[in-house]
């Protein structure tokens, strides 16, 4: 089972123009896919940044895509709960960089999920397994 990071789901949005490894991963995923709730927040942040720079047509397209992601993944969006907060605090105590990535790592640890990400170094020393589909 896999926990998909923002950079991977964003790359898949490019369709045929996306990275071939990412497209292969989504074409025949090797297991069930989940999203951490933080990905939804990061995608929303991207929509709002586009909107703030004055590109409302693009913001509306991205917002519609985000709404489809939320609808399509529904019960496979994993929340950050009290147990995750405890695990996150332990991870941050050892290495206080990348707070959001540490939250994602905590979710992966508690649910025994592999994190699918381009940024594998951000999850080093957390105890999670990562998969980088950008590497082919």
Task: Give the pLDDT confidence score for residue 51 in this predicted structure.
Answer: 97
Provide the H-helix boundaries in 36-133. Answer: 37-52, 56-73, 82-94, 99-111
Query: Domain map of the chain by residue range?
Result: 2-36+77-135
Whole-prediction pTM value? 0.94
Q: What is the largest CA-CA distance in the chain?
A: 43
Class of domain 2-36+77-135: alpha beta
Size of the chain, expressed as the number of residues it contains: 136
Q: Within the chain, which residues score under 50 in pLDDT?
A: none
pLDDT digits (tens, 9 = 90+) for 31-52: 799 999 999 999 999 999 999 9
State the burial class of residue 97 (Cβ atoms within 10 Å of its Cβ: 0-12, 13-18, 19+): exposed
């Amino acid at each position: 089972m896999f926990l998909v990071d923002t950079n991977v789901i964003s790359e898949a949005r490019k369709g045929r123009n996306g990275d071939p490894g990412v497209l292969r991963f989504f074409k025949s995923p090797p297991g069930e896919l989940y999203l951490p709730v933080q990905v939804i927040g990061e995608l929303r942040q991207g929509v709002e940044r586009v909107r703030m720079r004055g590109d409302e047509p693009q913001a509306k397209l991205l917002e519609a895509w985000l709404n489809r992601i939320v609808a399509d993944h529904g019960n496979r969006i994993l929340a950050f709960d009290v147990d995750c907060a405890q695990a996150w605090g332990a991870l941050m105590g050892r290495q206080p960089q990348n707070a959001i990535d540490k939250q994602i790592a905590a979710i992966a640890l508690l649910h025994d999920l592999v994190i699918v990400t381009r940024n594998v170094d951000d999850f080093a020393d957390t105890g999670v397994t990562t998969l980088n589909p950008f590497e082919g």
